[in-house]
């Protein structure tokens, strides 16, 4: 195991490189209000973050990453455009023993610029690419925005589209929903039995027969959920061509330039993705201008779907091996700035590097 002094030295070197690239150093609290993170990610965040209680500030979480507090600080009065960098520990629960640490040092760079998102994406990726080049890492890129645009363009109910969008970052759950909505998988038996009961009795009669209310949901909320189940049961399956295109998109893996050609070829069948594909094309041009050949950069349409849930566009990572955490990762999170900006928003992209892994790679330990 690499000693902490060497890890800190690598972190400081990366931090200095980010400052040299024009980033302003910022600090972030170690304890963050749990309410903000719960509002963003729901109760799922509890499985990944360390939660504690403060007698004055209420429920708090040890910092799971820097992006949320940095975005909050910027939206409270940062200049535009802006570049920030930071260094410090983050804390993530792990559900099994393995190479992923529950506490580790992180160095990051965040870029806020509304003029040309594709240029900002290329700037950030090129910066990380150059810093990590001596390590011989494997890059990976994707674009959550293309997948989100494809879902939004489906000819189905808003409720079904919202369900798919909510689970984009949970690939297994997303696939199960897509299989069911497209008619490739049967409706779960428990739901079939419930719907049969709803056909026999009115929802209010079922609620009354269930006994006294013991949960947190009100009768109105239960009735609303019942109405949603009935609506979903009456909704036709996705059109076969649309479902096939979405399955094709999920499986797309190719060099970025070839992936663009493939996406151009299916855009006429799924017009909703055209703006996102155009942005992808401009990003590749911007990367090319920075000396990075799009033919050499791997692209996966599903890449980044197990990362933090605020990414909604370009995503990237750098890997030493498939069975290890990424050495670096990042992506675009425009929607997060709108959520934390209370009505204000600005396009933003950022990324982080794990200096402990950099140090171990330099010593030949990985």
pLDDT tens digits, one per residue of 324-357: 889 999 999 999 998 888 778 899 999 999 999 9
pLDDT at 308: 65
pLDDT at 76: 87
Higher pLDDT, 153 or 223: 153
Place 195 in a pLDDT band, splitting at 50, 70 and 90.
low
pLDDT at 223: 67
**Mean pLDDT in residue range 307-312:** 79
* pLDDT beyond 70 at 209: no
* pLDDT above 70 as % of the chain: 90
pLDDT at 96: 75
Mean pLDDT of the chain: 88
pLDDT at 343: 76
In the sheet where 24-25 sits, what is the strand order?
24-25, 82-91, 103-112, 348-353, 328-332, 314-319, 138-143, 298-300, 253-255
pLDDT at 120: 97
* pLDDT above 90 as % of the chain: 63
**Mean pLDDT in residue range 51-66:** 90
DSSP result, 151-202: HHTSSS-HHHHHHHHHTTT-HHHHHHHHHHHTTSSPPPHHHHHHHHHHHHS-
Q: Longest Cα pair distance anywhere in the chain, in angstroms?
A: 70
Q: Collapse the DSSP code of 313 into the 3-class scheme (helix H, G, I; strand E, B; otherwise coil) and give the result.
A: coil
Q: C-alpha 201: how far from its chain's center?
A: 42
pTM over 0.85, yes/no: yes
* pLDDT beyond 90 at 145: yes
């Amino acid at each position: 195991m690499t000693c902490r002094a060497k890890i800190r030295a690598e972190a400081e070197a990366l931090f200095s490189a980010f400052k040299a690239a024009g980033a302003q150093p910022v600090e972030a609290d170690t304890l963050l209000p749990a309410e903000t993170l719960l509002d963003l990610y729901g109760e799922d965040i509890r499985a990944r973050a360390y939660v504690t209680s403060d007698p004055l500030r209420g429920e708090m979480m040890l910092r799971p990453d820097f992006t949320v507090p940095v975005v909050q600080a910027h939206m409270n009065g940062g200049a535009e455009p802006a570049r920030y960098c930071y260094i410090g520990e983050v804390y993530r629960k792990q559900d099994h023993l393995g190479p992923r640490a529950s506490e580790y040092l992180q160095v990051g760079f965040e870029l806020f610029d509304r003029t040309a998102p594709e240029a900002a994406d290329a700037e950030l990726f090129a910066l990380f690419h150059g810093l990590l080049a001596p390590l011989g890492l494997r890059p990976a890129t994707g674009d959550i925005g293309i997948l989100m645009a494809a879902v939004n363009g489906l000819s189905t109910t808003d409720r079904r589209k919202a369900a798919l969008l909510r689970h984009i970052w949970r690939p297994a759950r997303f696939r199960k929903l897509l299989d069911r909505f497209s008619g490739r998988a049967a409706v779960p038996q428990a739901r079939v039995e419930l719907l049969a009961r709803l056909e026999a009795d009115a929802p209010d009669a079922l609620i009354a027969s269930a006994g006294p209310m013991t949960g947190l949901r009100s009768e109105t909320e239960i009735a609303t959920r019942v109405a949603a189940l009935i609506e979903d049961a009456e909704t036709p399956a996705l059109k076969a061509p649309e479902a096939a295109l979405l399955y094709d998109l999920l499986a797309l893996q190719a060099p970025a330039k070839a992936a663009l050609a493939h996406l151009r070829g299916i855009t006429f069948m799924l017009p909703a993705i055209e703006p996102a594909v155009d942005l992808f094309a401009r990003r590749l041009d911007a990367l090319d201008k920075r000396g990075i050949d799009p033919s050499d950069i791997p692209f996966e349409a599903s890449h980044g779907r197990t990362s933090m849930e605020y990414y909604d566009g370009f995503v990237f990572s750098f890997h030493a091996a498939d069975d290890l955490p990424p050495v670096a990762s990042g992506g675009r999170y425009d929607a997060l700035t709108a959520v934390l900006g209370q009505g204000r928003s600005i396009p933003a992209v950022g990324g982080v590097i794990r200096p402990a892994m950099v140090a171990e790679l330099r010593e030949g330990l990985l």
